[in-house]
């Protein structure tokens, strides 16, 4: 009955499917393949089963990297989400300043990752950089290349500077979609600023904030360029997060099997976290719907 | 001619349209009447070809168009929201379907000006839609539908966002605008009065089913079942459950109504009576009228008419009458009903037989 | 509840209004009496919502003062004015239950807990919401949501007025009837001061004891529903109220007669100082069809079930007449006007007819 229904659409989808297969599925399968084999030079492989997996999971080094990764991700989420919402709340809802604010907010998002790293690297240099000079000038012993705490501080400030805008823009989009009548009703009901936020703005922003948190989670969990450009994971291993460790294993030590297994575990962690978070948020969303 | 044959639409476990069969004639005006979520919009989307039906067939001029994309059909649709191209002038908005069709410039100009004249948009041709009033914006959308010369024009509550008086004007104009073509007009509305004002044919929709289709006034006067009667009543239909014993209907509180002559042969048992608010009167209007004592809940008075809300036991009725009649809540009144005006429904909600000739 | 006085209120949305046309509200002086049910009726853009928002404090008027019970509240905030408002689209707090929605305005004002509970329960019963009290507000139908919005106003026993901004727009016809009559009942029972903004004449006329008709930023008539129907002060009121609206015929006044084309129509009284061109206003309900009178051509008949609207052509002029459900249309109808339904307008304003001596 519906055979003529939009059959043409498939022709447009096919190239995309092919593209996805080449740049996502096939590489992924290759990694799966590596993760269960031992490789020697000259393309000689042995099947190893789950050996690499158990090795990775039991390694102190992996756990440490994962721990650093989790601390980093949750720290920036804890800063960027509330800060982003706060900035969005302060932005004007109409008038000429709207576009000015939006452009200012969008600026950091337009700068490539490695450039951000380079900018902050120079900006924070204790002897040359403005930030480093000022901090040292006012009495802090600040040197991100030597002190782990300073490296962390720089990394987090950098990420917050770079990505809070994304949360701001999403939260702002959620905010301006709230009809005026809600604010007027709240005024009439004598609601405090906090009550307006808690009962009108926050519920109406929930969907976009879910998206914002998901995006920021996934992206920060996979952060590589910034710590790499800043200190290459140092000082010591202090900023060696998962992706940096992975590259060290794969390209530094050329442990292809171990790196592959680690990649898969890494991938699954991101997948499971995102999935659980999304389902929990959306289940609440549907509650009371009928 | 547009034919729907056993059309159903299911989304997941929910049935949005349930086995609808309709035949709409060229040049006809057809009203889809039903409350929100009755399936009016879904049905229109199927007619337009925006959505495929889950089951059944859509035929246009004898040809099966069930799977045909909307672009290939000569269909125009106007929505409740005023949908125009915001960056185009009114002129360009009206011209847009003609430009897509690749007509030459002088022909487009002629068609646009003709439609603008008909919809009284000529002074606004150079304006942008958003600088116009709601009524003018909707006229622009209608003009665009008109120049498209579509064989099927679907209007989905097109006047719902307009002022009462503007609605009145545009509603009167609409059938005239499309009168000269052999276009099939389909008009969805939630308001019974609007259906009556438009005339033509009406299909009453309830929970995805078409309960009745026929000439508008016929459907209004002789609904085939209780659901149709309820859908097509504004103010709401008055109803009451009764027992038929011999030649009388026994209501609560010792009140009884004689069973009209043509229905005396019905089996004994439980029935539902339904009667329109304007058939309930404050004075005895015919010798057959029977008084029923009820309590006033509230009286709503317009400048020339009264809607008196009555409580008869636990049942709510509305009495409509011309003239101004003040009552206090709690007042006891006698409301008269001519049993020949009463619609009788069986336990399954089917109308027992058309009411007496009096209801013509 | 309070009496609301509007004194020389003017409002413009422009920063520096200069000409009269810059004002959305041109000049409003009016008093809403304590316990009255009022409707502000007019087409979109007539200033009725502007006026409502000035009363509620969502807008500050460009000029003029607003008094509640004699106290100047022009500069007070919405909260301080202590009013309730129901909007066009139902505003409910999605995350709260119905009960919590009603408790919200009281909690914000720091009312003691058991007092809140008592008042919320009372309001739930009043608005028939008790059955859904513990449900989340979000999943409810539009009419229930609108009741919640109303309940949030009613729950505060000390509100000065309840304002309605086209509250039935998104409600299905059947539920409209129910909500409307419930509002009317609440008003009769408790005597709240209520102001109801609408473009729908049926809603305005059935809800209000006094209807304020607005047109282009001005009040054109204030009256009871029957005054507006029988004696429209302005041709706009004649047109806007009634459906179809009032018939207007161009006539020449000659004493107690009005000349309409080749015909003379007897006026029920004389008009002082009026000679020459005027308009005769007759509602379709007062147009009689019979064997005598002006010859008319039938153009079209709309059968609306409980009545029929007959569109006629008389002397080249379109004229509407109303027939009852069982009334037949004469084969060659002639038109007369019931004397009590005749109004005379000069330059759109009604001129009183004095009973002939």
Would C238 be classed as within a structural domain?
no
Cβ of C113: how many Cβ atoms within 10 Å? 10
Residue of B nearest to A3 (CA): B67
How many angstroms separate the CA atoms of B60 and B25, rounded? 10
Q: Which residues pair with B280 in a beta bridge?
A: B337
How many angstroms separate the CA atoms of A93 and A88, rounded? 9
Contacts of C243 in chain B (CB under 8 A): 164, 168
Q: Which two tokens stand for residue B52?
A: 């495929």
Say if residues C287 and C335 touch (Cβ distance below 8 Å): yes
How many angstroms separate the CA atoms of B3 and B21, rounded? 7
B174-197 per-position pLDDT tens digit: 888 887 778 899 999 999 999 999
**Which residue is associated with the tokens 């889809």?**
B32
Q: Where residue C130 sits, what CATH number does that domain have?
A: 3.40.50.300
- Whether the per-residue pLDDT at B358 is higher than 90: the answer is no
Residues C166 and C294 in one domain: no
Would C346 be classed as within a structural domain?
yes
- Whether the per-residue pLDDT at B260 is higher than 60: the answer is yes
Range of the domain at C267: 243-355
Residues C299 and C320 in one domain: yes
Say if residues C312 and C321 touch (Cβ distance below 8 Å): yes
Instruction: Give me the helix-helix angle, A60-90 and A148-176, nearest 10°.
Output: 40
Contacts of A9 in chain B (CB under 8 A): none
How many angstroms separate the CA atoms of C123 and C130, rounded? 9
State whether residue C60 is helix, strand or coil: coil
Contacts of C226 in chain B (CB under 8 A): 301, 303-304, 324
Q: Which chains touch A (3 or more CB pairs under 8 A)?
A: B, C
Nearest CA distance, A143 vs chain B (angstrom) = 56
Task: Please check whether residue B69 touches A, CB under 8 A.
Answer: yes
| Contact between B199 and C303 using a beta-carbon 8 Å cutoff | yes
Nearest CA distance, B323 vs chain C (angstrom) = 10
How many angstroms separate the CA atoms of C285 and B82, rounded? 34
How many angstroms separate the CA atoms of A62 and B89, rounded? 64
Contacts of A287 in chain C (CB under 8 A): 136
Number of helices (H) and strands (E) in chain C: give both, helices first. 9, 24
CATH superfamily of this structure's domain B238-359: Nucleic acid-binding proteins (2.40.50.140)
Do the two domains B2-230 and B238-359 of this chain adopt the same fold?
A: no
At residue A40, the pLDDT reads 67
Q: Where are the beta strands (DSSP E) in C71-202?
A: 71-72, 84-86, 162-165, 194-198
Residues C93 and C219 in one domain: yes
Residue of C nearest to A189 (CA): C105
Contacts of A5 in chain B (CB under 8 A): 52, 67, 69
CATH level 3 topology of B2-230:
Rossmann fold (3.40.50)
| Contact between A1 and B67 using a beta-carbon 8 Å cutoff | yes
Residues C214 and C270 in one domain: no
B128-163 per-position pLDDT tens digit: 998 888 888 999 999 998 888 888 999 999 998 888
Residues C178 and C211 in one domain: yes
| Contact between C89 and A199 using a beta-carbon 8 Å cutoff | no
Q: Which residues pair with B23 in a beta bridge?
A: B3
Would C259 be classed as within a structural domain?
yes
Would C291 be classed as within a structural domain?
yes
List CB contacts of A16: < 8 A, sequence separation 6 or more: none
Q: Which two tokens stand for residue A202?
A: 């926050």
Residues C221 and C91 in one domain: yes
How many angstroms separate the CA atoms of C352 and C357, rounded? 15
Say if residues A209 and A174 touch (Cβ distance below 8 Å): yes
Architecture, CATH, for domain A68-238: Orthogonal Bundle (1.10)
Residue ranges in chain C whose pLDDT is less than 50:
357
Task: Please check whether residue C300 touches B, CB under 8 A.
Answer: no
Domains in chain B: boundaries: 2-230, 238-359
Nearest CA distance, A274 vs chain B (angstrom) = 26
Q: In angstroms, what is the C-alpha Rg of chain B?
A: 24
Task: Give chain C's domain count.
Answer: 2
Would C237 be classed as within a structural domain?
no
How many angstroms separate the CA atoms of B334 and B292, rounded? 5
Say if residues B309 and B299 touch (Cβ distance below 8 Å): yes
| Contact between C79 and A188 using a beta-carbon 8 Å cutoff | yes
Q: Which of residues 122-181 of A touch C (CB under 8 A)?
A: 179, 181
**Which residue is associated with the tokens 């996934």?**
A218
- Divide the 290 residues of chain A into consecutive groups of 10 and give the mean pLDDT of each group: 57 85 84 78 70 81 87 93 93 86 89 84 83 84 82 88 92 90 88 90 89 90 83 80 82 79 87 89 57
| Contact between A187 and C77 using a beta-carbon 8 Å cutoff | yes
Q: Which two tokens stand for residue A132?
A: 């480093």
Helix (H) or strand (E) segment spanning residue C237: helix C235-240
Local confidence band at B238 (pLDDT 50, 70, 90 cut-offs) = very high
How many angstroms separate the CA atoms of A154 and A226, rounded? 10
> What is the average pLDDT across B75-99?
91
Pairing mode of beta strands B29-33, B201-206: parallel
Would C228 be classed as within a structural domain?
yes
Nearest CA distance, C84 vs chain A (angstrom) = 6
Task: Please check whether residue B36 touches C, CB under 8 A.
Answer: yes
| Contact between B163 and C44 using a beta-carbon 8 Å cutoff | yes
At residue A286, the pLDDT reads 52
At residue A4, the pLDDT reads 47
Residues C120 and C220 in one domain: yes
Task: Please check whether residue C142 touches A, CB under 8 A.
Answer: no
Domain stop point among C212, C232, C252: C232
Contacts of C229 in chain B (CB under 8 A): 302-304
List CB contacts of B305: < 8 A, sequence separation 6 or more: B320, B321, B322, B323, B324
Task: Please check whether residue A189 touches C, CB under 8 A.
Answer: yes
Residues C210 and C266 in one domain: no
Task: Please check whether residue A193 touches C, CB under 8 A.
Answer: no
How many angstroms separate the CA atoms of B126 and C143, rounded? 41
Say if residues C276 and C263 touch (Cβ distance below 8 Å): no
- Whether the per-residue pLDDT at B100 is higher than 90: the answer is no
Task: Please check whether residue B66 touches A, CB under 8 A.
Answer: yes
Task: Give me the total of CB pairs closer than 8 Å, taking one residue from chain A and one from chain B.
Answer: 15
At residue C32, the pLDDT reads 92
Environment class of residue C272 by beta-carbon count within 10 Å: exposed (0-12), middle (13-18) or buried (19+)?
A: exposed
Half-sphere exposure at residue B143, Cβ-oriented, CA atoms within 13 angstroms: 31
How many angstroms separate the CA atoms of A21 and C46, rounded? 61
At residue B73, the pLDDT reads 81
Pairing mode of beta strands B332-337, B75-78: unpaired
Nearest CA distance, A204 vs chain C (angstrom) = 9
Q: Residue C317: which of C357, C270, C280 has the closest Cα?
A: C280
Residues C227 and C256 in one domain: no
Higher pLDDT, A146 or B229: B229
* Substitution target from C60, C87, C107 for chain A, most A beta carbons within 10 A: C87
Residue of C nearest to B231 (CA): C174
């Amino acid at each position: 009955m519906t055979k003529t229904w939009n059959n043409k659409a498939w022709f447009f989808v096919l190239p995309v499917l092919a593209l996805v297969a080449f740049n996502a599925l096939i590489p992924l399968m290759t990694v799966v393949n590596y993760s269960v084999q031992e490789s020697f030079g000259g393309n000689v492989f042995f099947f190893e089963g789950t050996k690499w997996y158990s090795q990775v999971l039991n390694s102190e080094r992996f756990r440490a990297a994962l721990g650093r990764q989790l601390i980093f991700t949750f720290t920036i989420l804890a800063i960027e989400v509330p800060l982003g919402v706060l900035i969005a709340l302060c932005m004007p809802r109409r008038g000429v300043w709207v576009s000015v604010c939006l452009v200012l907010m969008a600026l950091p998002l337009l700068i490539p990752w490695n450039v951000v790293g380079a900018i902050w690297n120079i900006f924070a240099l204790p002897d040359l950089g403005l930030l480093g000079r000022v901090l040292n000038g006012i009495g802090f012993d600040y040197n991100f290349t030597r002190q782990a705490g300073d490296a962390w501080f720089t990394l987090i400030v950098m990420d917050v500077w770079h990505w809070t805008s994304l949360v701001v823009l999403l939260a702002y989009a959620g905010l301006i979609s709230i009809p005026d009548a809600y604010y007027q009703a709240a005024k009439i009901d004598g609601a405090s600023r906090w009550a307006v936020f808690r009962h009108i703005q926050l519920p109406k922003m929930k969907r976009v904030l879910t998206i914002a948190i998901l995006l920021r989670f996934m992206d920060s969990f996979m952060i590589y360029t910034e710590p790499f450009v800043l200190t290459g994971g140092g000082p010591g291993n202090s900023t060696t997060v998962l992706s940096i460790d992975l590259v060290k294993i794969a390209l530094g030590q050329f442990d292809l099997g171990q790196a592959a297994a680690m990649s898969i575990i890494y991938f699954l962690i991101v997948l499971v976290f995102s999935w659980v978070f999304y389902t929990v948020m959306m289940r609440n969303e549907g509650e009371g719907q009928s | 001619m547009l034919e729907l044959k056993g059309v159903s639409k299911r989304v997941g476990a929910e049935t949005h349209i349930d086995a609808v069969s309709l035949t709409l004639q060229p040049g006809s005006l057809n009203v889809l009447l039903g409350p929100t979520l009755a399936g009016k919009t879904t049905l229109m989307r199927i007619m337009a070809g925006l959505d495929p039906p889950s089951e059944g067939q859509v035929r246009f001029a004898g040809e099966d168009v069930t799977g045909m994309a909307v672009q290939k059909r000569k269909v125009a649709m106007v929505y409740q929201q005023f949908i125009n191209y915001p960056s185009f002038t009114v002129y360009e908005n009206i011209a847009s379907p003609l430009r897509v069709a690749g007509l030459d410039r002088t022909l487009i100009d002629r068609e646009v000006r003709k439609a603008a004249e008909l919809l009284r948009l000529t002074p606004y041709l150079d304006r942008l839609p958003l600088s116009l009033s709601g009524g003018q914006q909707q006229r622009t959308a209608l003009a665009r539908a008109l120049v498209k010369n579509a064989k099927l024009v679907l209007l989905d509550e097109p006047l719902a966002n307009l002022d009462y008086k503007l609605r009145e004007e545009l509603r009167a104009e609409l059938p005239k605008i499309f009168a000269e073509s052999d276009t099939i007009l389909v008009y969805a509305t939630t308001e019974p009065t609007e259906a009556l004002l438009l005339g033509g044919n009406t299909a009453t929709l309830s929970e995805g089913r078409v309960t009745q289709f026929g000439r508008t006034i016929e459907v209004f006067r002789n609904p085939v079942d209780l659901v149709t009667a309820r859908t097509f009543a504004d103010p709401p239909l008055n109803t009451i459950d009764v027992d038929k014993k011999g030649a009388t209907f026994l209501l609560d509180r010792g009140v009884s109504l004689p069973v009209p002559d043509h229905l005396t042969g019905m089996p004994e048992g439980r029935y539902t009576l339904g009667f329109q608010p304007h058939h309930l009167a404050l004075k005895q209007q015919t010798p057959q009228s029977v008084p029923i004592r009820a309590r006033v809940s509230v009286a709503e008075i317009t400048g020339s008419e009264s809607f008196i809300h009555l409580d008869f036991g636990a049942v709510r009725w509305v009495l409509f009458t011309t003239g101004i009649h003040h009552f206090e809540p709690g007042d006891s009144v006698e409301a008269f009903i001519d049993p020949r005006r009463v619609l009788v429904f069986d336990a399954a909600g089917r109308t027992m037989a058309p009411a007496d000739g009096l209801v013509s | 509840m309070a009496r609301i006085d509007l004194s020389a209120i003017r409002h413009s949305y422009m920063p520096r209004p200069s000409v009269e046309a810059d004002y959305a509200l041109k000049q409003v002086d009016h008093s809403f009496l304590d316990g009255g049910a009022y409707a502000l009726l007019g087409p979109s853009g007539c200033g009725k919502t502007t006026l409502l928002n000035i009363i509620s404090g969502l807008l500050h008027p460009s000029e003029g003062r607003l008094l509640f019970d004699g106290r100047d509240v022009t500069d007070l905030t919405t909260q301080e004015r202590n009013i309730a408002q129901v909007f066009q689209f139902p505003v409910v707090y999605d995350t709260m239950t119905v009960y919590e929605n009603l408790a919200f305005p009281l909690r914000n004002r720091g009312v003691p807990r058991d007092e809140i509970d008592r008042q919320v329960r009372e309001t739930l019963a009043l608005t028939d919401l008790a059955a859904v009290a513990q449900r989340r507000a979000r999943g409810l139908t539009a009419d229930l949501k609108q009741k919640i919005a109303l309940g949030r106003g009613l729950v505060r026993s000390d509100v000065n007025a309840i304002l309605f901004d086209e509250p039935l727009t998104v409600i299905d016809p059947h539920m409209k009837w129910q909500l409307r009559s419930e509002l009317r009942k609440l008003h009769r029972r408790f005597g709240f001061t209520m102001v109801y903004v609408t473009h729908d004449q049926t809603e305005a006329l059935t809800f209000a004891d006094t209807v304020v008709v607005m047109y282009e930023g001005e009040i054109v008539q204030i009256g009871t529903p029957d005054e507006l129907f029988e004696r429209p002060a302005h041709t706009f009121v004649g047109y806007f109220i009634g459906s179809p609206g009032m018939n207007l015929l161009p006539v020449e006044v000659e004493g107690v007669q009005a000349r309409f084309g080749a015909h003379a129509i007897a006026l029920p009284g004389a008009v002082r100082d009026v000679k020459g061109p005027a308009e005769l206003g007759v509602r379709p309900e007062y147009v009689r069809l019979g064997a005598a009178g002006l010859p008319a051509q039938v153009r079209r008949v709309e059968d609306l079930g409980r009545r029929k609207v007959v569109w006629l052509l008389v002397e080249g002029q379109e004229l509407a007449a109303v027939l009852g459900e069982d009334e037949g249309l004469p084969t060659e109808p002639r038109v007369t006007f019931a004397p009590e339904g005749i109004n005379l307008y000069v330059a759109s304003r009604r001129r009183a007819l004095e009973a002939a001596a």
